Each structure stands twice: as C-alpha cells, then as structure tokens.
Amino acid sequence: MSPKSDGATVITAPETDVEGVDNEAVTKNLVFVAAERLFALHGFQNVSVRDITAAAGVNLASVNYHFGSKDALLYEIFRRRTVELNRERAKKLHEATDRHAGNPPVREILAALLTPPLKWLAPDHERRISLQFLIRARSEGTDEIRKVLQTDVTHLRRFSDALLKARPDLPSEEIYWRLHFTLGMLHNNRFAEFDRLNVLSEGATSEADVEALLGRMLAFAEAGFSA
Amino acid sequence: MSPKSDGATVITAPETDVEGVDNEAVTKNLVFVAAERLFALHGFQNVSVRDITAAAGVNLASVNYHFGSKDALLYEIFRRRTVELNRERAKKLHEATDRHAGNPPVREILAALLTPPLKWLAPDHERRISLQFLIRARSEGTDEIRKVLQTDVTHLRRFSDALLKARPDLPSEEIYWRLHFTLGMLHNNRFAEFDRLNVLSEGATSEADVEALLGRMLAFAEAGFSA
DNA sequence: GCCAAATTCGAACGGCCGTAAGACTTCCCC
DNA sequence: GGGGAAGTCTTACGGCCGTTCGAATTTGGC
C-alpha cells in the first residue's frame, strides 16, 4: 500500500486506550490504533510494519518492542476487539433472557447477535473501523487467529443454545445451519460489498442508516428461521 | 506457505484445459491448475511464484512467460472461472424465465443464482477448488479484481431485474438488500467456515451433502424474501 | 541530581519476493 | 535437414520485508 495516500498519515487523536486512561499519546497506543485502521482498510498482508509506524509517527522498532512481532500485534487487536464485541452481544442476550423468563424468542436472540456489530457500523461510531478490521481478520488473518476462530466457539454456543431452546421443534442441525447463514449475512457487510451494492442499485441503497439495515437483516433472518 | 506440505506437490492429471484439448501436460495449463489450487487453499499473498512453479513441476520463469505476471495469472484464473460460473447461472435463469412466461417466481431465480456454485461445492466435483478460489479472490484479490467486481454488475443485474419483476410490490431497495443478504450467505461457504460450524454443532452438520445444503439455503433465502 | 530501568532511535542484516536477461533446447514449417 | 520461432532453463538483480542490535535518550524512584 506504500504508493497510496491515506488522508491523515499521522493519528493525532486516537480514541482508544491500550490499558487505561491518559495514554492517548503513548507509543503503544498509537501503534495499536494506526495498525487497526490500516489493517481494516488494506488488509494484513498489504500493510507493512513501516506503514504502521509511519502512520503512527513512531519509530520502526516500536511494533516489535511493544508487541513482539507483527503477527502478535494483529492478534492483540483481534483479541481485544473480539472480547469487546462479544461482551456487548452477551449482555444483550442476557437481558433478553431475563425479559422472557429464560426463553427469549428467535428475533430477540438474533437481535442480540446482530445489533452490536451493526451499531459499530454507523458512520460516526468510534468502532466503525474495528468492525471492518474484525471482518477482514476473520478471513485474512494468521493461522493463530484462524485456529482460535475454529476452536473457541463458547461464545457462539450461547446463541445456538438459546436458539435450540427457542425452537425445540427444529432439528438441531437445522438451527446450526441457519445460524451459519445469518453469520454469513453479517460478515458480508464490508465496505467493498456496500460499494458493489450501491453500484448495482444505482444509489438506492445506503448503508449509512444502520437502524434500517438492522431492521432489514433481522426481518430477513427471522423469516429464514421461520421457514 | 513454503514450510507446509500439500499432499500431491505435482499435478499429474489436471482436469482443465487452457485453450482447447490435448494440452493437459502443457506448461501453461500446469501452472494454471496448480496456481488455482494453491490460491484457493492458502490465499493469493501466501503463495509465491516459486510455490506455484514447484507444485506444477515447471520452471520458475513459466509464470511470467505465459501470463506476464503473478497478478495477471490470478486475474486470468478469476476471469475464466467467473465467466464459467456466471454462464451456468444465466442458463438456469433463462430456462426458468422460459418456463414461467418471462416472470419466474423468487425461488426459481434464487435457485438459478445458488445452484451452480453449490453444485461446484460437492466433494467430488471438478470445480470444487475453483469455487473456493472465487470466494477468496473476491475478498483477497488484487485492486484490478476488486475494481471489476465493483464495476461490472451486468451479470448480477439480470437477477435483480428478475427479482424486481417477481416482487413488484416490494420497494426496489428492499430487493437489492435482500439479494445482498443472499449473496452473503453464499460467500460464507468457505472451508474454514464449515470447519467452524462442524465444531459448533459437534459434527451434526455436514457440508458434503450439497443437495441438502442447497435446499436449506433456498428455503432460508426464499423465506427472507417473503418477510 | 543520580542511577537504573524503560523506552526510543538509527541502522543494518538476512531472507524471500517478483521479475528479467540471456543461453540453451525443442519444435515446426519450408 | 536447415533455420527461425517458440518454449524452457539457469541465474541473478533490485527491492521490500520483519526483525534485531547497540547506542542514545527519557523516565521514575530515592
């Protein structure tokens, strides 16, 4: 990506802290934020350590000093954002469970799964770029990330269990497949796919209204589960 | 990917011809088949020209001699497989249109869109690896591929037009969004995602039965369009 | 204000990459 | 069977990559 420009090459006001507060200007945080942004926009393989440190305005050796390696940096960003996103989802699922005496309907379960990432997608949301990062990391990440995605399904199981309970009439495999389909819909929300959709619809579709998008996705997925 | 092994490192019986017949052992075809396979399994960036030529059992310079560059090789594979897949889809859509006096129902349109790629997904289908290649190339490809995907929507428009006609009651934007969702479901059919699903379902799901998978996807998507 | 630890810095190393140059071989047409 | 084109081979070039090293600098506790 070297020949390209990036708007602002130096991150002046990162909105994310690495460990606590008052470390906005700390090198480690500058690297974290710049790397997340560049990985999300251009992909892991297309961004070099030099690109990251240049964008962050720090020394080349910073990545290896603070994170150990480029791979470890990617993994740390991935881990933190995943935890953050899944915590929001789990909280929503928990609330829905409380609201419905331990057995929420399909729509509420799907809402708990889809609402947090779609909220992040809003144009002015501070996690907008993080969501793009997560989507990319899922398919372009390192072997370690891929292994974690395949191995650690504890978070996802909360949702499949809830769905199994909400639809005891369906064969369990059917539940898993429909969950798989729903996740496919979600992970298709990449900038590039939106651009393609906008060309196809000649501007009739706008992903800026995430509330509307969430409503459409929920309606589509819920109908799919009721098939 | 150099440290890894790949089962068979030398392609002995390629099932694809570059231009006509009787060129199974021709260098260009050996490169084409080996590259498609390696790109599909490991991704474009993780496969070097040396990996390809070694797997094909040909000289290092073959890629640049026959295709011009590594990028051009990727693009040629992408273009050929895309044309082939879209031809099958267009044929099915055309047949459905004939069968229904120019106005096929939603399910038949979706079947024309989904059946060819899902057929390719069958364990013994000769295009199984090609489909994985196409899915990967869509998100990991070069700038040129990404530009083509965004610019050339003529093929996709055949399907959106058919859907608009089948559901004139729906706002056009709604049609485009639901088509976008359906494509998301389709593009989620990667080996890695199947593995994850199998772990989650503890083996209850099997992607080997593509007929059943097609039926599930069609049912889910059709229900989504009927929401 | 001192000292040790933590951090930042400039510079370079070894390695793999895509590509090209040039010699050599094979093929095919006349 | 001779000659030119097409294809194959060896070799290496220039470049960017992730990482590391040792020196310089800053930081924080006393």
- A49 contact to strand C (CB, 7 A limit): no
The beta strands (E) that lie in A102-172 are given as none
Structure confidence by residue, pLDDT tens digits, A57-108 = 999 999 999 999 999 999 999 999 999 999 999 999 999 999 999 999 999 9
The residue with tokens 């079947």 is B111
Q: Does A71 touch chain B (CB under 8 A)?
A: no
Q: What is the mean pLDDT of residues B173-179?
A: 98
pLDDT in tens, B100-141: 999 999 999 999 999 999 999 999 999 999 999 999 999 999
Is A1 part of the contact surface with chain B (CB cutoff 8 Å)?
A: no
DSSP letter for each residue of A19-56: SSSS-TT-HHHHHHHHHHHHHHHH-STT--HHHHHHHH
What's the distance, CA B181 to chain centroid? Answer: 17
The pair of structure tokens assigned to A217 is 């996705």
Stretch A157-180: mean pLDDT, rounded? Answer: 98
Decide if A156 contacts A59 (C-beta within 8 A): no
Which residue's entry shows tokens 């990917």?
B1
Give the mean model confidence (pLDDT) for residues B40-53.
Answer: 97
Q: Give the residue from A112, A104, A111 showing the smallest Cα distance to A88.
A: A112
Chain B residues 119-178 with CB within 8 Å of chain A: 136, 139-140, 146, 149-151, 153, 156-157, 160, 172-174, 176-178
Q: Is residue B1's pLDDT more than 70?
A: no
Short-list A85, A139, A81, CA closest to A73: A81
Å from A125 to nearest chain B CA?
22
B221 Cβ under 8 Å from any chain A Cβ: yes
For B201, nearest residue in chain A (alpha carbons)? A176
Per-residue pLDDT tens digits for B186-195: 999 999 999 9
Phi/psi-derived region of residue A43, left when phi > 0, alpha when psi is between -120 and 50, beta in every other case: left
Residue B98, burial from CB neighbour count under 10 angstroms (0-12, 13-18, 19+)? exposed
Which chain C nucleotides are covered by protein, judged by CB under 7 A?
7-12, 16-22
User: Residue B8: phi, psi to the nearest 5?
Assistant: -95, 120
pLDDT at B152: 86
Longest CA–CA span in chain B (Å) reads 59
The alpha-carbon gap from B153 to the nearest alpha carbon of chain A, in Å, equals 6
Which chain B residue has its CA at the smallest distance from A205's CA? B173
Query: Span A22-40, mean pLDDT?
Result: 89
pLDDT of residue A2: 43
Cα–Cα distance list, A203 to A191, B43, B109, B138 (Å) = 14, 32, 23, 22
Nearest CA to B181 out of B210, B160, B196, B162 is that of: B160
Contact B190 A139 (CB under 8 A): yes
Name the band, by pLDDT with cuts 50, 70 and 90, for residue A4: very low
Question: Which B residues 46-85 have CB within 7 Å of strand D?
Answer: 58-62, 65-66
Nearest to A196 among B149, B177, B217 (CB): B149
Cross-chain Cβ contact B227/A222 below 8 Å: yes
Q: Which residues of A touch B208 (CB under 8 A)?
A: none
Which amino acid, one-letter code, is at A74? Answer: L
Taking alpha carbons only, the member of A153, A177, A178, A175 closest to residue A162 is A175
Which amino acid makes up residue B67? F
The predicted-structure confidence for B144-173, as pLDDT tens digits, reads as follows 999 999 888 999 999 999 999 999 999 999
Q: Which residue of B has its CA nearest to A194?
A: B180
CB count within 10 Å of CB A107 equals 16
- Which chain B residues are closer than 8 Å to A160 by Cβ? 200-201
